[in-house]
Amino acid sequence: MQKIEINKTDELDYHTNEAYKSLRTNIQFSGENVKVIAITSCMPNEGKSSVAMNLACSLAEAARRVLYIDADMRKSVLVGRYKMTHANFGLSHFLSGQKSLEEVLAQTNISRLHMIVAGPVPPNPAELLEGKRFGELIKAAREVYDYIIIDTPPVGVIIDSVIVAKQCDGIAMVIAADEVSYKFSQKAKSQLEVAGCRILGAILNKVDLRRNGRYGSRYYNKYYRKYYGSYYGAGTYGKEEE
């Protein structure tokens, strides 16, 4: 199995740490049929990857076997953010049939936490996720892990997360305080519900950021435009990376 060294986990203050513990507890009490969980949000930058990673670590700390799958193949930030050593093969290699599951799985230096990194940006992420190999991956992983945490792209911008969510037992929606309108969150929620996905709950993130109402909408517009324009605009994905 490949090995990944994660050199920086988010340093959490006491309250954040407690919040992750209560999130973990809520998930554990959702029942034993809730094992495969997608983390999504309406917009980019709301904290999906941070929440997914901290949740995965928190579950692993509580003696659960956890698989973290980075399914945001268009914009994976993990390697830079967590100063991870490079894994040679990732999800896009597996989904495109170039590598086997054993070849893309990676062991981490965090006990009981395994990972599948995103891999190189494929030209057709949504199509790959819709293919039968993704379903096979989840099925095989269910046999081995207690929890499978899947980081996805934002639901309000791109269809991938709905495709992923269909294979999951539930979705947790990250909502960044003051960044996303109520209406937009509702729209994303109903989009997931219409597709038959079970929403486990919402995680209110970035609550303590010092953004007042005056600037709120300006931030929102800035992020909205930036993301659409740079990452998820039709035909532009994969060409610009951070």
Ligand X SMILES: Nc1ncnc2c1ncn2[C@@H]1O[C@H](COP(=O)(O)OP(=O)(O)O)[C@@H](O)[C@H]1O
Q: Which stretches of the chain bind ligand X, using CB under 6 A?
A: 41, 44-50, 77, 205-206, 209
Nearest by Cα to 238 from 149, 147, 160, 124: 124
Site size for Mg ion, by CB under 5 A? Answer: 3
| From 48, 64, 99, 189, residue interacting with Mg ion (rule: CB under 5 A) | 48
Helices (H) and strands (E) in the chain, counts: 10, 8
- Binding range to Mg ion, per CB under 5 A, among 46-54, 96-104, 129-137, 174-182: 46-54
Instruction: Between 65 and 206, name the residue whose CB sits nearer to ligand X.
Output: 206
Least Cβ distance, residue 238 to ligand X (angstroms) = 17
Binding piece for Mg ion, criterion CB under 5 A, among 66-74, 157-165, 186-194, 220-228? 66-74
What does the DSSP assignment read for 120-185?
Answer: SPPS-HHHHHHSHHHHHHHHHHHHH-SEEEEE---TTT-THHHHHHHTSSEEEEEEETTTS-HHHH
156 binds, among ligand X, Mg ion, none (CB under 5 to 8 A by kind): none
Length of the chain: 242
Closest to Mg ion by CB, 48 or 112: 48
Nearer to ligand X, 77 or 101 (CB): 77
- C-alpha 223/C-alpha 226 separation (Å) is 5
Asked if residue 49 binds Mg ion (CB under 5 A), the reply is yes
Q: Does 74 bind Mg ion (CB under 5 A)?
A: no
Interaction between residue 99 and Mg ion (CB under 5 A): no
| Three-class SS state of 230 | helix
Q: Which SS3 state, helix, strand or coil, does residue 190 take?
A: helix
Residue 45 partner contact from ligand X, Mg ion, none using kind-dependent CB cut-offs of 5 to 8 Å: ligand X
Least distance CB 58 / Mg ion (angstroms):
18
Structure tokens at 174: 């990250």
Span from 2-10, 30-38, 69-77, 229-237 in contact with Mg ion (CB under 5 A)? 69-77
Query: How far is the C-alpha of 55 from the C-alpha of 24, rounded, in Å?
Result: 7
* 135 Ramachandran zone, left/alpha/beta (phi>0; psi -120 to 50): alpha
Beta carbons of 119 and 91 less than 8 angstroms apart = yes
Name the minimum Å distance from CB 51 to Mg ion: 9
Rounded to a whole number of angstroms, the minimum distance from the CB of residue 49 to Mg ion is 3
- Residues in contact with Mg ion by CB under 5 A are 48-49, 72
